[in-house]
Amino acid sequence: MTAVPDELREAHPRDNLLRTDLFPHIWCPGCGLGIALHAFLEGMEKAGIPREKRTVVSGIGCSGRTAGLLKVDAYHTTHGRPIPFATGIKLANPDLHVSVFSGDGDLFAIGGNHFIHAARRNMDIHVVCINNFNYGMTGGQMGPTTPAKAKTTTTPYGNFEHPFNLPWLAATCGATYVARWTTLDARRIRDSVAEAAVKKGFTFIEIVSPCPIGYGRPNRIGSGLDEMKYYEEKWELRGENWIIQEGANPRDADIDLGKTIIVGKFVDIEKPTFLDMYRAQMPQDAPRKEAARAETEEVKK
Amino acid sequence: MRGDVITGKYFMNGDIAAAEGALSAGCRFFAGYPITPSTEIAERMAERLPEVGGMYIQMEDELGSMAAILGASCAGTKAMSATSGPGFSLMMENIGLGIMLEVPAVVINVQRGGPSTGLPTTVGQQDMMQAKWGSHGDYEIIAYSPNSPQEMYDLTVKAFNAAERYRLPVLVMADEAVGHMTERVVVPEKAAIPIVHRKAPSVPPSEYQTFRAGKDLIPEFAVAGQGYFVRMESLTHDELGRPSLTPETQQSLVGRLQEKILRHAHEIAEYEEYLLEDADVVVVAYGITSRCVREAVDEARAGGIKAGLLRLVTVWPFPHWRIAELATQAKAFIVPEVNFGQIVREVERAVAGRASTKFVQYSPGAIPHPNRTLKTIQEVAK
């Protein structure tokens, strides 16, 4: 890492939230992670979550490096396991605000099983997934979100697998909040993070993010900026106020090379969390049981 | 409603005794996945943890179970999981994470026969080397080996205390025979149970460094949510918790992780000596085997052979120093195990050619019969 000369060093308005001793960071020029991370920090500030109560857990990969950059209780864990690690933190101390910030390969390939079960349980954690359509850290291999026909270093003839549609997956597994944005819209990410942060239950935000080296180059999309322009052309805002019970369907949100990328908020529902249901079942905890039962009935109405 | 320490005398199964030991030690979080022959531990924790204000969660697999107990421990709660062979293999990944982040936790492995699905319902001692070497990279570990339901209780308490003191996942390497054995278990008075807590930060947050260790090589542990802003980093890291991918940092970090156990090995290691004062033939055994072959030692003595038993209560760190001492007096070491030869190699290394070392192989699937060990004692005594 090359040191930045003092005269070029400017204070960033969010330096108070960052471990500046790790800068310059390791991400490539044109990478969307910086935009996503900044929007995430802004969203957490907007939500007013006290900093000492915030914990951020990451897995492995380019996105996995984010936890280490944040001036909160930060846990850089193993590949695919940030969600169960975060589950342990949340259950051991429900007063903590627990976020998972990680990538598509980490959360949906090696960690896919943990994702679906945490969503099913409605575990009170807030997941942000940076989807760059490939394994960036290892040099651009195919992953579970790589669009069909896309080229990567391990799909030199074009990808022959069907990719995950992440909002649909999250919605069907039971997430209470599901949204997708691209790094083109930092303010919407911020607002969405803020909205999800104060929501009860398992929330999921996908951020489609350029990876000019791993994904843009082999697919002739060009630089990071070109990939953003591509989003601008293909970007369509739909269903911002849709909720799944009212008939909105994230099933339409699959991403294909050259096709429209649907962004927006897909799901925003209330339902009892794991802790609500746990407490409601425990015999000795009568007052809490009552509260949880009232809440459940509230949701049913 | 029962409390956390159910003082009294019980006729209790080993698995249930281990669960009670965990509760007595202050465990308030259990994450696990059902697997024979350890399932009774999860069942007991599911019933008992809510009674004492704790939290039980059945995870989707053992990868998640191990990750969850580390997360819970980072949030300041004593945490445990229990499993058997196939699940223990899955836990290896995050046992390594627990070593690297120095997170206290306890894992009970009620061993069955392997490899793979193997013998799900019967005894084995085939994971003893996996306990030490199963996760990638170099590390030292602490592993207890109970030989009775009472010890399932006692050693689980000790495992929690060692985990808190030395900051790592500590293993209780039980076996199906001990786990499913029902016997008298005495749960002591609460006040009589020594409890160790991890060291809290002695400095304000502004001065705190996540991995700075003092003379004892064990860093102070800041729990999530206290404003210390810990930097728990699974990459090779410096004392601040910053990734530092250099041979120098690797040397100092991984060197310290090893040394914090090795330097305290004499305090950690526990073993029982039976008729060793004048022994010519030393039987080295652990777990259920140590119980069975004691009879072989008695019979050999009755037949005029000076046999004795060194029973390993902790298998890791391995008490090579005691074996080296005994090797100056004994002419033969006999190592019976319910596997195809594991700890015998450690004994051989410690004996270092000063006496002969013989392995007595018992097939996993049955409790070892003392006769085979007796025969070997008689052969080497000739």
**Type of residue at B93:** E
- The domain of A290 spans 271-301
Do B71 and A53 count as a contact with CB atoms less than 8 A apart?
Answer: no
Query: How is residue B72 annotated by DSSP?
Result: H
Give B-chain residues touching A114 at CB under 8 angstroms.
60, 63-64, 67
Is the CB of B2 inside 8 Å of chain A's CB atoms? no
pLDDT single digits (tens) B74-109: 999 999 999 999 999 999 999 999 999 999 999 999
Q: Is residue A177, in this structure, part of any structural domain at all?
A: yes
**A24 with A68, same domain?**
yes
Residues in B closer than 8 angstroms to A96, CB to CB, are: 75, 224-225
B-chain CB neighbours of A71 within 8 Å are 229
- pTM flag (> 0.90): yes
Looking at the domain assignment, is residue A119 inside a domain? yes
CB B145 within 8 A of CB B312: yes
pLDDT (tens digit, 9 = 90+) per residue, B318-329? 999 999 999 999
User: Is the CB of residue A37 less than 8 Å from the CB of residue A19?
Assistant: no
B68 to chain A nearest CA, in Å?
4
CATH 3.30.1330.10 fits B270-381, yes or no: no
**pLDDT band, very low/low/confident/very high, at B163 (cuts 50, 70, 90):** very high
Instruction: Report yes or no: A86 at the B interface, CB cutoff 8 Å.
Output: yes
Amino acid, single-letter form, for residue A215:
Y
* A19, A88, A274 ranked by CB distance to B72: nearest: A88
Q: Å from A285 to nearest chain B CA?
A: 9
- Close Cβ partners of B201 (under 8 Å, ≥ 6 residues apart): B208, B220, B221, B222, B228
Residues of chain B with CATH 3.40.50.920: 270-381
Residue A30 carries which DSSP code?
Answer: T
Q: How far, in Å, CA of B23 to CA of B25, rounded? A: 5
B15-34 residues touching A, CB cutoff 8 A: 28-29, 31
Q: How confident is the model over B337-364, as pLDDT tens digits?
A: 999 999 999 999 999 999 999 999 999 9
B87: which 2 tokens? Answer: 């699940």
Q: Which of residues 40-79 of B touch A (CB under 8 A)?
A: 50-51, 55, 57, 59-61, 63-65, 67-77, 79
pLDDT value at position A230? Answer: 83
Both tokens of A217, joined, read: 């180059």
Nearest-Cα residue of chain A relative to residue B100: A77
**B79-92: b (≥16 Cβ within 10 Å) or e:** bbbbbbbbbbbbbb
- Alpha carbon of B67: minimum distance to chain A alpha carbons (Å): 5
Contact of B1 with chain A, judged by CB distance below 8 Å, is answered with yes
If we measure between CA atoms, which residue out of B237, B248, B243 comes closest to residue A26?
A: B243
pLDDT at res. B272 = 98
The residues of chain B that CATH labels 3.40.50.970 are 8-192
The answer to whether the Cα torsion of B85, B90, B96, B98 is positive or negative is negative
Closest CA to B177 of B30, B342, B338: B338
What's the pLDDT at A7?
Answer: 65
**Mean pLDDT to the nearest integer, B365-369:** 97
Asked if B233's CB is within 8 angstroms of A114's CB, the reply is: no
Helix (H) or strand (E) holding B131: helix B128-133
A32, A76: one domain: yes
| In-domain check, residue A7 | no
Per-residue pLDDT tens listing for chain A (301 residues): 566 676 666 777 788 899 999 988 999 999 999 999 999 999 999 999 999 999 999 999 999 999 999 999 999 999 999 999 999 999 999 999 999 999 999 999 999 999 999 999 999 999 999 999 999 999 999 999 999 999 999 999 999 999 999 999 999 999 999 999 999 889 999 999 999 999 999 999 999 999 999 999 999 988 888 888 887 777 666 555 445 444 457 888 888 877 788 888 999 999 999 999 999 998 765 555 455 555 555 544 4
Tell whether A150 and A295 lie within a shared domain.
no
Q: Answer positive or negative: Cα dihedral of B70, B72, B74, B79.
A: negative
CB B211 within 8 A of CB B219: yes
**Contact at CB, B232 and A283, closer than 8 angstroms:** no
**Position A2 in a domain:** no
| Type of residue at B102 | E
Q: Tell me which chain B residues have a C-beta less than 8 angstroms from the C-beta of A113.
A: 60-61, 64
Quote the pLDDT of residue A2.
Answer: 62
Counted across chains A and B, CB pairs separated by less than 8 A come out at 146
ipTM of the modeled complex: 0.97
- The CATH number assigned to the domain holding A249 equals 3.40.50.970
Q: Indicate if A275 and A265 belong to the same structural domain.
A: no
User: Is residue A226 domain-shared with residue A182, that is, in the same domain?
Assistant: yes
Contact A87 B71 (CB under 8 A): yes
Q: How far are the Cα atoms of A149, A206, A230, B142, B171 from residue A224, in angstroms, in the given order? A: 20, 18, 10, 49, 48
* Interface probe, candidates B60, B135, B206, chain A, greatest A C-beta count within 10 A: B60
Neighbours of B47 (CB within 10 A): 13
> Domain B8-192, what architecture?
3-Layer(aba) Sandwich (3.40)
CB within 8 Å: A19 and B71: no
Residues from chain B that touch A50, judged by Cβ atoms under 8 A, are none
Give B136's contacts (C-beta < 8 A, 6+ positions apart): B96
CB contacts of A81 in chain B (<8 Å) are 63-64, 67, 93-94, 97
- Percentage, residues of chain B above pLDDT 70: 100
In a domain, A204, yes or no: yes
How far is residue A96 CA from its own chain's centroid? 18
In a domain, A27, yes or no: yes
CA separation for the pair B195, A212 (Å, rounded): 54
The verdict on A282 touching B (C-beta cutoff 8 Å) is yes
Q: What is the pLDDT of residue A101?
A: 97
CB-based contact A85:A115 (threshold 8 Å) = no
DSSP secondary structure code for residue A163 in this structure: P
CB atoms within 10 A of CB B377: 27
State the smallest CA–CA distance between residue B238 and chain A in angstroms: 12
Q: Are residues A216 and A277 in the same domain?
A: no
pLDDT of residue A6: 66
Q: Is A110 inside a domain boundary?
A: yes
Q: Give me the residue from A52, A88, A285 closest to B31, CB to CB.
A: A88
A287 shares a domain with A224: no
Domain-located, residue A126? yes
Please name the residue of chain B whose CA is at the shortest distance from the CA of residue A92.
B72
Query: In this predicted structure, what is the pLDDT of residue B314?
Result: 98
**Judgement on whether residues A196 and A294 belong to the same structural domain of the protein:** no
